[in-house]
Structure 1
Amino acid sequence: MKNVFIFLFCFFFLFSCENEGELTRKSLESTTISSAAILKYSGEFSSTSGITVSGFAKIYLENNEYKLKLEDFTVSDGPDLKVYLSKENTPINFVNLENFKGNGNTLYTIPSSVNVSEYQYVLIHCQQYNHLFAIAPLTSI
């Protein structure tokens, strides 16, 4: 009986984060910013304990739309990672932009209802286990 319990626990732990949430499922977008886009905010990522991260968060204004670009970005693998635009350096007061698309250069559209100037951080967060992976404090350009 003990072996069955251990097996079920391990199975749940390994496969519980496989499904994507309905609220954050979106199609992949281009990773390019037009030459007319204006860089408004930028920040370098730092990691939380036990996580490896590098790269930059950059927010551009392009055609009256704000876009977040993760540039030269790498982070340790984790389940259910989300990209947050946050008012604090913890996931307390944030906007969930989308599921994390992967390492490299990725682009996320910021909803037009968001006042970007009120948000000072980009966070990479594991929603399933409520674990913060990376923080990029933003500075105005």
Structure 2
Amino acid sequence: MSLPSRRVVGVSAIAMAAVVAAVALPLFQPWRLFTDKVVDESLPGAPGVSMTSSSPVPPTVSGDRTSTPAPPTPKPATTKPSQPAEPERLAAGRLISHEHETQGSVAIFRLPDGSRVLRLENLDTSDGPDLKVWLTNAPVLEGRAGWHVFDDGRYRNLGDLKGNHGNQNYVIPTDVELADFTSVTIWCDRFNVSFGAADLSKT
């Protein structure tokens, strides 16, 4: 092959590689394997910590003599307000790894207002493109056998994964019948693969 021909082939190969890279990089987003996003949300409706002090009133000092203030006038007895309802845990499970190392726990709560949320706690997984949180009716299988089963049956998308680390809440729509779903997966919708999943057990 002559030198000019080799140059043409070389330029063509470089151009082809550039085209492949331009298509593949946005699709696969390989840099996301090295990025992290932490989202730390509290559970809605959980009781807060009271910051009211119960320390007694200190004595007052006048000159060189110490006097104790007169006791306060008794207030009429009042009925103690009832404590607000707390979130009720309906189901729970622990995440296992599928295509990517994944750890953490999953729970479904009914909040005091009647709404329901799916909560991921202490989540630790990889970042990736088009990650979703799904309720599904598929069995959770260990190993490669469990990577691709979750879109074979019924599933409900609860939204984009907010972060690959932390504690997060996902609202469950009112029309979802929890009895129809037995598992949760962190699902890569672009490549149809589970990063990690958990069986749900009623509590």
Q: TM-score range by the shorter chain?
A: 0.7 to 0.9
What is the match of residue 126 of structure 1?
Answer: 188
Please say which of residues 111-120 and 31-40 is displaced more in the overlay. Answer: 31-40
Alignment of 1:93-108 (within 5 A): 93-102=154-163, 103-108=165-170
- Deviation at residue 17 of structure 1 after TM alignment: 6.7
Structure exhibiting the larger radius of gyration computed from Cα positions: 2
Measured in 1, the distance between the counterparts of 2:20 and 2:97 equals 28
The SS at the match of 1:56 is strand
Whether the aligned pair in 2 keeps the contact of 1:91 and 1:123 (CA below 8 Å) is no
Q: Answer yes or no: is 1:11 the counterpart of 2:22.
A: yes
Q: Deviations over 1:70-107 (max 9, x none)?
A: 00001112111010000113223200110000020010
What is the match of residue 57 of structure 2?
Answer: none
1:43 counterpart (79, 93, 116):
93
Question: Which 5+ residue runs of structure 2 have no aligned equivalent?
Answer: 1-11, 30-38, 47-85, 140-149
**Cα distance 1:86–1:14, how it changes in 2: closer, same or farther (>3 A)?**
same
For the aligned residue pairs, the C-alpha RMSD in angstroms reads 2.0
Q: Give the percent of matched residue pairs that are identical in Structure 1 and Structure 2.
A: 26
Question: Which 5+ residue runs of structure 1 have no aligned equivalent?
Answer: 19-27
The SS at the match of 1:83 is strand
Measured in 1, the distance between the counterparts of 2:93 and 2:20 equals 39
- Structure with greater helix share of residues: 2
Please say which of residues 86-95 and 64-73 is displaced more in the overlay. Answer: 86-95
Alignment of 1:28-67 (within 5 A): 31-35=42-46, 36-49=86-99, 51-62=100-111, 63-67=113-117
**Structure 2 letter corresponding to 1:101:** K
- Deviation at residue 118 of structure 1 after TM alignment: 1.3
Measured in 1, the distance between the counterparts of 2:28 and 2:156 equals 20
Whether the aligned pair in 2 keeps the contact of 1:43 and 1:137 (CA below 8 Å) is yes
Q: Answer yes or no: is 1:117 the counterpart of 2:167.
A: no
Instruction: Normalising by structure 1, report the TM-score.
Output: 0.84
Measured in 2, the distance between the counterparts of 1:91 and 1:7 equals 34
Instruction: Normalising by structure 2, report the TM-score.
Output: 0.59
